[in-house]
Amino acid sequence: MTTAGLPSWLDPVAQAARSVRPQQLSRFLPPESGAGRQSAVLILFGDGPRGPELLLMERSGTLRSHPGQPSFPGGSL
């Protein structure tokens, strides 16, 4: 992994990513039964006028599941 060109405020994230072991992510694997579904999210960092920013969306207040809550953009593939 290279960090060339990344803003310095992302250094802690890059450093943490270097130490992640596969076992730490195994709970995020789909079930062995294949009952999971393909999905993805975008975690977008950017330089804002007052420092680092993170893009979040607000879920519609009319949804049955988690109405009005903040979320990352993404969903089913």
- Position 31 scores a pLDDT of 80
- Confidence at 3, pLDDT banded by 50, 70, 90: confident
Q: Are 71 and 37 in contact (CB under 8 A)?
A: no
Taking 80 as the threshold, does the pLDDT of residue 34 lie above it? no
The answer to whether residues 19 and 59 touch, using CB atoms and an 8 Å cutoff, is no
Token pair 């420092």: residue? 51
The answer, as to whether pTM is greater than 0.75, is: no
pLDDT band, residue 11 (cuts 50/70/90): very high
At position 5, the amino acid (one-letter code) is: G
Read off the pLDDT band of 64 (50, 70, 90).
very high
For the four alpha carbons of 49, 17, 5 and 43, in that order, the dihedral sign comes to: negative
